[in-house]
Amino acid sequence: MCEKPLATTAADAQLLVDAAESAGRIVTVPFVYRYHPMVRELRARIAAGGFGAWHLLHGSYLQDWLLSPESTSWRVDPAAGGASRAFADIGSHWFDLVEWVAGVRVAELLAETTTTVADRPRVGGPTYGNGAPSDAARVTVTTEDALAVVGRTTEGVLVSVTVSQVSAGRKNRLWFELDGAHASAVFDQELPESLWLGRPDRTETLVRDPSVNSPEAARLSVVPAGHPQGYPERFENFVKDTYAAVRGNHPEGLPTVGDGLRSARLIDAVMASAAQRAWTPVDDASPTDEPTDDLTEEHAGHLR
């Protein structure tokens, strides 16, 4: 298992992919938001049809743990975490989740970044730490605190997301909406036990219930309906699936080193776009694997 970012550049991520393939090793990357049961429920419903062609995919990932000028982390240092911080850290999760659930690939994007805290303590602490000593030396911040990305999928669908680590009161709000020709859906990671589904004539809130949810959602439900399931169980299920893969099985949706490479290429495209202030292609606009069998023709077409 390798935490993301898989590497600080796409070129280095490719080396890891090549090494894993040549050694015949399974390498997984914890894009663990895939492991919320209601995320699997939404993917299953998309596969079953009924949403229509995608019209718009949009959302945000907002946090506030770096709002204070006294807060810092190893991720702030580009030598340790790479040129991108907010996108590499959390924007990467949003893109992995939306692309995987909706069955799309972003082919090109336009990004704008901002650094709202000009300098921070030099001392790099653990992620979500309590800040550095008051007498710590300070350094100029070059990684982004927030950014906005607009993109187009290979099918031309518009995608937009706002990413921030300096939004007061927002602790871990990964939120997305998928708007299709016939129906829409919303998932909010801070309310992971439910989905919002919308149609022109009605809306509904669907709650996790393994007795009626899709097989994949039920498989990942480790507690009965009505008993909250959330953050820790995502990692537990991810680890279980990693072990299953090592034993020769092929769990649905297990994020691997190829997904880590995809993320690294998105990061490189975001940083290049922000630097050039121009639309930038994503090198890997097509997936490394064939569409999974459970996707409908309608949405599997986005993956080809």
**Which structure tokens are listed for 197?**
């589904």
- Looking at residue 138, its pLDDT comes to 93
- Residue ranges of E strands in 65-145: 106-114, 119-121, 138-140
Yes or no: say if 296 and 47 are a contact pair by the CB < 8 Å rule.
yes
Count of structural domains, the chain: 1
Instruction: Enter the pTM of the model.
Output: 0.91
- Looking at residue 278, its pLDDT comes to 98
Residue 238 lies in a domain: yes
SS3 content of the chain, % helix, strand, coil (to 5): 35, 20, 45
List the CATH number of the domain containing 170. 3.30.360.10
Residue 195 lies in a domain: yes
The alpha carbons of the chain give a radius of gyration, in whole angstroms, of 19
**Which structure tokens are listed for 27?**
């390498």
- Looking at residue 302, its pLDDT comes to 37
DSSP label at residue 297: H
Strands of the sheet with 106-114, listed across from one edge: 202-207, 194-199, 184-188, 173-180, 54-62, 158-164, 146-153, 106-114, 280-281
Domain that holds residue 41: 10-125+136-285
Residue 303 lies in a domain: no
Give the CA distances from residue 35 to residues 42, 88, 155, 188, 233, in Å, rounded to whole numbers and listed in that order: 12, 20, 27, 14, 8
Task: Count CA within 13 A, CB hemisphere, residue 42.
Answer: 33
Yes or no: say if 278 and 294 are a contact pair by the CB < 8 Å rule.
no
**Which structure tokens are listed for 110?**
């336009």
Residue 131 lies in a domain: no
Residue 249 lies in a domain: yes
**Cα–Cα distance, 44 to 34 (Å, whole number):** 12
Within the chain, residue ranges assigned H as helices are: 10-23, 37-47, 78-81, 86, 92-102, 215-220, 231-246, 257-276, 297-300
Residue 256 lies in a domain: yes
**Cα–Cα distance, 114 to 38 (Å, whole number):** 33
Give the CA distances from residue 19 to residues 4, 16, 25, 43, 220, in Å, rounded to whole numbers and listed in that order: 17, 5, 8, 31, 31
For the four alpha carbons of 272, 1, 93 and 79, in that order, the dihedral sign comes to negative
pLDDT in tens for each of the 304 residues of the chain?
999 899 999 999 999 999 999 999 999 999 999 999 999 999 999 999 999 999 999 999 999 999 999 999 999 999 989 999 999 999 999 999 999 999 999 999 999 999 999 999 986 655 555 555 667 789 999 999 999 999 999 999 999 999 999 999 999 999 999 999 999 999 999 999 999 999 999 999 999 999 999 999 999 999 999 999 988 999 999 999 999 999 999 999 999 999 999 999 999 999 999 999 999 999 964 444 433 334 444 444 333 2
- Looking at residue 136, its pLDDT comes to 77
**Which pairing describes strands 54-62 and 158-164: parallel, antiparallel, or unpaired?**
parallel
**Cα–Cα distance, 85 to 142 (Å, whole number):** 9
Torsions phi, psi for 175 (to 5 deg): -135, 135
Residue 304 lies in a domain: no
Task: Using alpha carbons, select from 222, 188, 233 the residue that is nearest to residue 206.
Answer: 188
Yes or no: say if 38 and 214 are a contact pair by the CB < 8 Å rule.
no
Residue 23 lies in a domain: yes
